[in-house]
Amino acid sequence: MTEKRDLSPPPFDNPLRRAERLLQWAEPLLDEEEKICSRRDLAAFAAQAPPLQAELDRLRRRGEDAFLDEVPYWEGWYLSCREPLPVHANPFYLFDLSGLPREGDPCRLAARLALAGAAFCLDIDGGRLEADSFRGERLCMAAYEKLFRVSRGAFPFRDRLVRGERDSLSGRSALVLVGGRLFLLELISPEGELRRLDETARLLRSLYERTEPDPLPLGLMTTVDRDEAHRFRSRLVALPSNERSLAEIEGSLFALRLDGPCGDSMEERARHFLFDEGKNGWYEKSFQIIVTADGVAGLNFEHSARDGTHMGRLVSELLRGASALSGGVSLPSGARPLSFVLDEGLRAELHRASRSARNLSEARRQRLYRFDLFGADRVKAGFLSPDAFVQLAFLAAQRRLLPRWRSLYESVQMRRFRKGRTEGTRPLTAEAALFVETLAGEEASRGHLRRLLLGAGEAHRRRIDLCMAGEGVEGHLGLLRRVWQERGADLAVEEPSLFQGPAWTKLTSNVFSSSTTEGKGLLLAGYGPVQIGGLGLRYLRCPDHFLFHVSSWAEQDQGEPFVEALDERLSLMGMLL
């Protein structure tokens, strides 16, 4: 699938306007002294920005926008992060299976989902994928080219995406994990036909019943920080035959995990799907379809080359395709085990990785909170965006806990542009601050509060529209900062004080990191916290309720007080609808 050239590139072309907008957006976070300092930074940036912008323009012309991968929250940004992938980076989804044929055998459910994934891959390969759209506009589809046969490889300083071959056996096979052991199972014939459902389910059932768990799974290598993962990978491929086996893993369609039971409660399931302590995962694969012995299913995905909007399409295709399977061909191959040569040094590193995985798991906190008094339908009836309403509730809950404002991040898609990914908006507008402070005062009339609420909602909409139009703050300025880091000395430009000043550092802090998903096809979605002392906030917008996944670190854990404050603020704000 080749991205059409009718999409325009992001308009990263007016740095001073972005810098002025930075100060405007950061203003509620700054005291008077910080505002004065930020204005000085802006004045200095007026002289520093032109050569940086000129170099950015030159790089974009030379590389046809390849440099855009360095935009914050785009591919290069993720690949440069060195924290472990589980909890720190990879989100998870839990599927709503109510629309699928009821399967008493989890392995048959896994077969349905795996074959549906393979069918989606064939549609992409054949150029049959209908374009995504938003408000009647066609969206960039380039990320779907990196959905299948792709893994994140650990390399020094910056990871790389490793691609497989469409016509290879591994490129027609799923990586199946059972008890930490690794297998390749062919799902697509050399002629491009899907394997039969009954045959696939039988093979998966045989694997699950006959495989003894690996006490030291190789997948642990994908759970450690990226520098440690690189050292392990380098030593692994230096031993005989390992490089070929690793290439088969990385070039496979996707990972399919047949896990043990994950528990009855949603909290237990959320913990399992976010991170299983490395017992049966390969967190570098583009995505892992996970099916547990108690019939729960979902995804865990690596974030660098794809975002929630792409994964939402994948969920829809998996659930639709799993219900529509028919026919198929019988293939002669069975599940082939993948083996590796491990010396004592590598085994010792896997033992250390196992301990690190347990420590990482114990350090996280995950809370589920369902707000049942009303949902998205009632908010819309009150002439307000459900997203704006929830973001204002997040700000109101934050203000109940903290003496000063902290920045709140919200992801916004920029896919109307060629290569477009996301921009980070900041919902703390001046109108939002005024509404929250007035609400906390408990003296204003309902009519006045409602007017402030509607005004804050409209300000949120305008800021979202700016970001979707490529006019946000962090993308363009973050790209100029990257230009300075790589080319500043050659350009004789000193580091702009803007990027060390209070406006930039406070606005771009992700202590509170949020994103949303429509509830269609999902029971739950979530990810880990971004910063120590911070919260990861993922929520589903449903017609009659909201469902929140709130993650935090055990150190400086604010999750429970935040949930209590959020419940109170949502209830109070509901009286204004």
Residues paired with 370 in a beta bridge: 547
C-alpha 527: how far from chain center: 7
Q: Is residue 425 a contact partner of residue 26, using CB atoms and an 8 Å limit?
A: no
Residues paired with 152 in a beta bridge: 161
Specify the 3-state DSSP secondary structure of 490: helix
Residues 6+ apart with CB under 8 A from 434: 452, 455, 456
Which amino acid is it at 312? G
Q: Dihedral through CA 277, CA 278, CA 280, CA 283, nearest 10?
A: 120
Query: How many residues does the structure list for the chain?
Result: 577
64 burial via Cβ count (<10 Å: 0-12, 13-18, 19+): exposed
Q: Return the CA Rg of the chain.
A: 24
Phi, psi (deg, nearest 5) at residue 363:
-80, -15
Q: Is residue 457 a contact partner of residue 388, using CB atoms and an 8 Å limit?
A: yes
d(CA 105, CA 51): 63
Q: Read off the tokens for 165.
A: 């071959």
Cα separations in angstroms, 382 against 48, 353, 510: 47, 51, 30
Reported in sequence order, the residue ranges of 214-266 that DSSP labels E, i.e. its strands, are 255-259
Report DSSP letters for 60-117, one per residue: HHHHTTGGGGGSTTSHHHHHH--S-STTTT--EEEE--TTSPP-S-HHHHHHHHHHHH
Task: Kindly name the residue from 88, 230, 303, 549 that is annotated as catalytic.
Answer: 303
d(CA 109, CA 104): 8
Q: Is residue 399 a contact partner of residue 437, using CB atoms and an 8 Å limit?
A: yes
441 burial via Cβ count (<10 Å: 0-12, 13-18, 19+): exposed
Q: Is residue 197 a contact partner of residue 204, using CB atoms and an 8 Å limit?
A: no
Strands 522-526 and 92-95: antiparallel
Cα separations in angstroms, 200 against 105, 149, 188, 290, 322: 12, 20, 11, 16, 13
- The verdict on whether 303 is a catalytic residue reads yes
**Cα torsion 306, 310, 312, 316: sign:** negative
Closest CA to 98 of 296, 314, 260, 272: 296
Phi, psi (deg, nearest 5) at residue 439:
-60, -40
d(CA 269, CA 288): 15
Active-site residues, by number, are 303
